[in-house]
Amino acid sequence: MAQSSSNNGGTDQVLVEERASVRIIILNRPKQLNALSFPMISRLLELFHASEGDSNVKMIILKGNGRSFCAGGDVTAVVRNVRQGNWKLGADYFREEFTLNYLMGTYSKPQVSILNGIVMGGGLGASVHGRFRVATEKSVCAMPETALGLFPDVGASYFYSRLPGFFGEYAGLTGARLDGAEMLACGLATHFVPSERLPFLEQALAKVNTSDPYVISTIISRFSDIPKLKAESPYHKMKIIDRCFSRRTIEEIISSLENEALNKKDDWISSAIQSLKKASPTSLKISLRSIREGRLQGVGSCLVREYRMVCHVLRGEFSKDFFEGCRALLIDKDKNPKWEPSRLELIRDDDVDRYFSKIDDEDWEDLKLPPRSNLPPYAIAKL
């Protein structure tokens, strides 16, 4: 039975289907590629809380309508609010989103996310923190925030820093797009199921009457394949990635990639260099530090730090790159952002430090995460 769960101009943005012991939650903004609006995030929080407190519910399945699981947060709406003069409206959005990420990361019941299509930014935050993530041949995932003047958020400093080697630094700084096979190989996905088998997988999962992750994993595995990585996959470049992206600074990372390019002609290296040089210099510096700090922090600490960072981004005191990136890529779409500061060498260490400090505003508070008993959260598979 499908129930509507959030109205926006008559269109239900979140749908719920109730099976015996399973709740199927469907993100339903297909024209916007299921980008998360503020009402969607609030409704997801309600549904996850209600399902956790309902002893009849053993498991949640989360999926998206159309060709996207979730293309991220609805940042154009955030930018619109901030431009009207209230950065705190934008901060409210991220506070709610990060609280949802934390709830998923500490959830006491298995969450199975069906990642059949586009999974960007906030879409990773709404899935990777959960227990099971099912990729398909249609999956495309990325955290493209450095190209937008932001940074990999939604707890990415926690889950990207725990990918093999320095693959998280590579994916987070370049915004590299990964397919379903690569998501499985690096651990962002726990299973790979060909999309034609998804209806049968969902039928099997809908009959589940247990929260036992072993039982659920066994069911998903019956429909799973181990896909082959494409020949040009960056996952085949782990030696170069570890050599270059383990460097201490962005400047050293770019320099070491350029040295690699001198030694051998490789389109992948050129593409990585180009992505880094197109990205916001400020974003690159704060993103690298964030992922490095995330290696030593739990998911809650990562989200608290990322909330501080995003509040500094929204205030735009040092750099307004987030607004310029959204203008260039999402609003005017000229794809020609004018970053300020424009070069890495213009950004000092104390400029970066500022993003990690408390906000100097008496009305501002750090992110207050709810007390949770299910700690530590599920580890990402293969880490």
Catalytic residue numbers, as ranges: 73, 122, 145, 153
What Å distances lie between residue 93 and 59, 127, 320, 362, CA to CA? Answer: 27, 18, 18, 19
Residue 332 neighbours by CB under 8 Å, 6+ apart: none
Half-sphere exposure of 140 (CA within 13 A, CB side): 11
Give yes or no for a cis peptide into 341 (omega within 30° of 0). Answer: yes
For residue 294, give the nearest of 120, 381, 172 by alpha carbon.
172
What Å distances lie between residue 154 and 83, 121, 313, CA to CA? Answer: 22, 8, 14
335 burial (CB, 10 Å; 0-12 / 13-18 / 19+) is exposed
What Å distances lie between residue 323 and 65, 285, 319, 341, CA to CA? Answer: 29, 18, 9, 14
For residue 268, give the nearest of 246, 291, 238 by alpha carbon.
238
